[in-house]
Amino acid sequence: MAEQNRAVESLEMTAPVLPNPAFWRGRKVFLTGHTGFKGGWLALWLQQLGADVTGYALAPDTEPALFDLADVAHGMRSVIADIRDADAVALALASAQAEIVLHLAAQPLVRASYADPLTTYATNVMGTANVLEAARHVRSVKVVQVITTDKCYDNREWEYPYRETDRLGGHDPYSNSKACAELVVDSYRRSFMREAGIHLASARAGNVIGGGDWAVDRIVPDCIRALLAEQPIDIRSPGAIRPWQHVLEPLSGYLVLAEQQYADAAGALASGFNFGPESSGAVPVGELAAGIVRHWGQGQLNISGDPHKLHEAGTLKLDISKARVRLGWRPRWDFDKTLHHTVDWYRRVLCHGESARQVCLAQIADYQTLAQP
């Protein structure tokens, strides 16, 4: 542990590793979940890097949706289909002849998983198995990365951040399904992928925020909807602590990890990686909402509680030492900068009528060029 701490300290003196445009230019990528919030941002970033992208996902499930507003499908092939359809996944992946597979498609909401656990498991577990099964039969595939979540850990409400070696688990169906997906990944890695010469890793991100998210029962979209309607923001669990990060932070980690997986002849990176904020980014929900109000310039909070409260973790933090040491990756934007870019996106797009696509691309460019604070 002391040696790892020294390695982390030495890395702090160097610039963080960022995605390499030369690697991605012309690279064939199969991206699932490109119609969602994170997937839409990643599709735009890959397009900006010059990658040859094929997306596979269901149609957007919100109105409005980043996919539509930012014209994410422009400049890529977009396949609208279900990740639970094994034959459709196999056909699309074989047609793409991709070298890199980034699997983001999922049912991503805790409360929705209580309402429909079977769809959650079918999507998050069997959907993952479908992608891995298809990938191992496509000779062009060299790298597969499965995106799960920080909630895949068996949460004991500890104060210390969870490490990649901590026990997997999950109380609610969403969290549990993502832990199951991690087990599927581990089995495929050991049973099939190594023999096939495919480097398979998983990525576990903290709570992601940023412009273009309209999901129900997520704190930032809920705040923006209330602010636009000039209504108080209802906060159910103001004390719940989460590792908040801008969407570009974990996406940069996924891209950097994929690049290094590709060059990793020995398969040493075929494992799980946490991507989260600095420790200062793990703050209560109430503090996040207050920060959004501050950056918006007006608004009120209403600590409402929830008479029908479902179980959700109270404290969740991530240890990102492994990504720092093994990949040279670390977050670039602190908590306040994350809030600034998130609120600025909604203000520019919703209040000033700017192009959602251009605002996304401008923030991506800013992330890549702005000096580390």
Chunked into runs of 10 residues, the chain (373 residues) has average pLDDT values of 53 76 98 98 98 98 96 97 98 98 95 95 98 98 96 86 93 95 98 96 95 93 96 91 95 98 93 93 93 96 70 76 96 96 98 98 92 42
Q: What's residue 265's pLDDT?
A: 86
Helix (H, G, I), strand (E, B) or coil at 223: helix
Q: What's residue 310's pLDDT?
A: 63
Q: Is the peptide bond before 21 cis (omega within 30 degrees of 0)?
A: no
The 3-state DSSP composition of the chain as helix, strand, coil percent (nearest 5) reads 45, 15, 40
Work out the angle between the directed axes of helices 127-135 and 173-188 (0-180°, nearest 10). 20
Contact 360, 251 (CB under 8 A): no
Q: Each residue of 328-342: b (16+ CB within 10 Å) or e?
A: ebbbbbbbeebbbbb
Provide the strand spans (E) within the chain. 28-32, 52-57, 77-80, 100-103, 143-147, 199-205, 207-209, 233-235, 241-246, 272-275, 282-284, 301-303
Sign of the dihedral defined by the CA atoms of residues 181, 94, 41, 371, in that order: positive
Q: What's residue 372's pLDDT?
A: 43
> 21-207+245-279+312-333: which CATH architecture?
3-Layer(aba) Sandwich (3.40)
Euclidean distance between CA atoms 284 and 324, whole angstroms = 25
Q: What's residue 45's pLDDT?
A: 98
Strand partners, 168: 153
pTM of the model: 0.93
Please give the structure tokens belonging to residue 22. Answer: 């030369």
Distances (CA, A) of 101 to 2, 54, 253: 35, 10, 15
- In the numeric block, the tokens 């699309």 are attached to 92
Q: What's residue 1's pLDDT?
A: 53
Contact 136, 192 (CB under 8 A): yes
User: Which DSSP helix (H) or strand (E) runs through 176?
Assistant: helix 173-188
